[in-house]
Amino acid sequence: MTRRKFLEQSMILGAAAAFSARGFGAESGGARRKIPKGIMYATIGLKGSVLEKFEAAKDAGFDGVEAMSHMNQDEVLKARDATGLKIPSVCGSKHWDKTLSHPNASVRDEGLKALEQTLKDAQRYGARSVLLVPGVVNKDVSYADCYKRSQEQIRKALPLAEEARVKIAIENVWNSFLLSPLEAGATSMSSTAPGLAGISMSAT
């Protein structure tokens, strides 16, 4: 994808979002307010440096970028400061390969280390949350095992999350886990128990 094509597509999406927001405000009678727009770093379909991708996002009208974990922190910070874009969250880049629900305990431990690095990245960037796919249900992992293993691993990361003042946002996306509002609600309620205060839900 060229820079020009990226900008064109981003402007179309931004215009549609702005029209929707204006329409909603007009119908509800509420005051108009600016809704910041962000883009996930991995979806910026341009070749180039971190700075060049941040600049493209800025030119396209975005207010922030969701960084990926395990990037060069200094490079990300330089791009953030040069463009003035915010980094409100960090998306884990390892949670699909090193799942917290994996049958192999050593893989689950690698996933935990990856989550901890994601939290450290978020703290460095001043982000308020990290995005985590908590586990994957498949032929090798039952729903019950996914539920149990993912919570066990996430609990281990909570002290770091609390210290960094970063929330762990749980996402259910193509992983056959937390499939309904009832399940998400049950998990959300369990997150208010002692030791799980750092978890919030991010259902998509």
Structure token pair of residue 8: 């064109």
The backbone torsions φ and ψ at residue 117, rounded to the nearest 5 degrees and listed phi first, read: -65, -35
Q: Domain limits of the chain?
A: 88-203
At 65-85, the pLDDT tens digits run: 999 999 999 999 999 999 999
DSSP H helical segments within 29-93, as ranges?
50-59, 73-83
* Cα dihedral value 76, 80, 85, 91, nearest 10: 20
What would the DSSP string read from start to end of 86-147?
B--EEE-SSTTTS-TT-SSHHHHHHHHHHHHHHHHHHHHHT-SEEEE-----BTTB-HHHHH
88-203 in CATH: which number? 3.20.20.150
Q: For residues 13-30, give the mean pLDDT.
A: 53
In this prediction, residue 183 has a pLDDT band, given cuts at 50, 70 and 90, of confident
* Residue count (the chain): 204
Q: What is the value of pTM for the model shown?
A: 0.78
Mean pLDDT for the chain overall: 85
